[in-house]
Amino acid sequence: MQIERQRLMVLLNALYDQGVESISVKHPCEDIGELVQINLENDGQATVRFTQGTMTYQDNRETISVRHGEPAYNDLPDAETYTRTMVASGHVSLNNHDAVEEFIQRHGYADLEAGHDPVVLGLDANIIAWRLPEVLGIDSETGDTDDRDRRPTNGYALATGVKEELDWHFKQYNTHELTQAFGEEFARLDNQPAGANREGFLGLYEYRRLRTNRTVDIVECDTGDEAIIEAYDKFNQDSRKEAVLLSNDYGFVDKSIDAGVPAQHIEYPIDIPRKATGSWTQAAELLYYLAILFGVIRLPKVTIYGVWNGKDGRHWQHEQVDLDCRSPKIAPQLERDLAILDVTN
């Protein structure tokens, strides 16, 4: 059963109705095991306990190459990506959240009625997958308005060079090795993006989503920091807009500032807390990211496939995952609730 990202709340509702208030989210391989535990509360809140912090996860991942071989090790996201997942779901803050906020206060909230140039965001390849503008409240459509009803930004300026850097197409052809290492679930991952390439696909389809759903200027350029920054500098000189850039790369940020293009470094935490409290919506977001990056995750009564043989561009575009309902009671409720949503929408 395929289900879209924004409808994963229906899965949480079904589990809660079946008496599953504590959701253990596990990787099928016992050597990795439980990643997080989501405790659903009846007021719309959910407490997430991070069974494995960044350091613990990194240690567990390092044992995989010895026990199961390099293909299995490479299929797992690295520790930095694991941490970014928790930030992207809204459960963990950036290390320099205040600095990013100050940067947007300084450059954003353009007074268009007074003739100020619109401010548009440029995103480096290393952060585009994670929807940070929405998480940080600086997106041009969903961002928090100030006391004069101005949005923090007015759209995006997306570099074609960044898109090219996201075009990763390495696919998994050694599923028999993954199946031996991780379990039978991984037999379904053949001919799908493998390992870090799944993060690349997240970024590529986020690029496409922004082009479809936001006001976007396309900045034509080659790949590489110098070419991208030069193109943004030219964009700022030639257009009546100001592009400001976000990147996880200190070198990229320094070069941008030297070129006169405003830029802000995004600093992820080194480790994550033991637990965090958020909403059911944020918990659903976390499930989506974990399913994509790990390929497969197991919940009570349900297995979620982030990738599976047969997943194509349409599934990526619509941000779909595939549910294997191991409990006979879950599937009928999901089908009923999804049908209701289809009628109401």
Report the SS3 class of residue 231.
Answer: helix
Note whether 278 and 332 are same-domain residues.
yes
Reading the block at residue 67, the tokens are 């026990």
Note whether 256 and 113 are same-domain residues.
yes
Report the SS3 class of residue 24.
Answer: strand
Q: How far apart are CA 151 and CA 98, in angstroms?
A: 18
Note whether 209 and 261 are same-domain residues.
yes
Residue with tokens 């696919």, as numbered in its chain? 171
User: For residue 134, is it within any domain?
Assistant: yes
Q: Which domain range does residue 155 map to?
A: 97-166+199-265
pLDDT tens, position by position, 131-185: 999 999 999 999 999 988 999 999 999 999 999 988 766 555 567 888 999 999 9
User: For residue 157, is it within any domain?
Assistant: yes
Report the SS3 class of residue 34.
Answer: strand
Counting the structural domains of the chain, the total is 2
Note whether 35 and 132 are same-domain residues.
no
Q: How far apart are CA 79 and CA 62, in angstroms?
A: 10
Residue with tokens 């070069």, as numbered in its chain? 255
pLDDT tens, position by position, 20-53: 999 999 999 999 999 999 999 988 999 999 999 9
Note whether 249 and 129 are same-domain residues.
yes
Note whether 218 and 81 are same-domain residues.
no
Q: How far apart are CA 299 and CA 65, in angstroms?
A: 25
Note whether 28 and 109 are same-domain residues.
no
User: For residue 177, is it within any domain?
Assistant: no
Note whether 235 and 322 are same-domain residues.
no
What is the reported pLDDT for 342?
73
**Contact indicator for 166, 210 with CB cutoff of 8 Å:** no
| Number of other CB atoms surrounding residue 333 within 10 Å | 18
Note whether 147 and 259 are same-domain residues.
yes
pTM of the full predicted structure?
0.95
Note whether 237 and 311 are same-domain residues.
no
User: For residue 53, is it within any domain?
Assistant: yes
Note whether 261 and 154 are same-domain residues.
yes
If you write DSSP's letter for every residue of 182-211 in order, what string do you get?
H-GGGGGGTTSB-TTHHHHHHHHHHHHHHH
What is the reported pLDDT for 197?
87
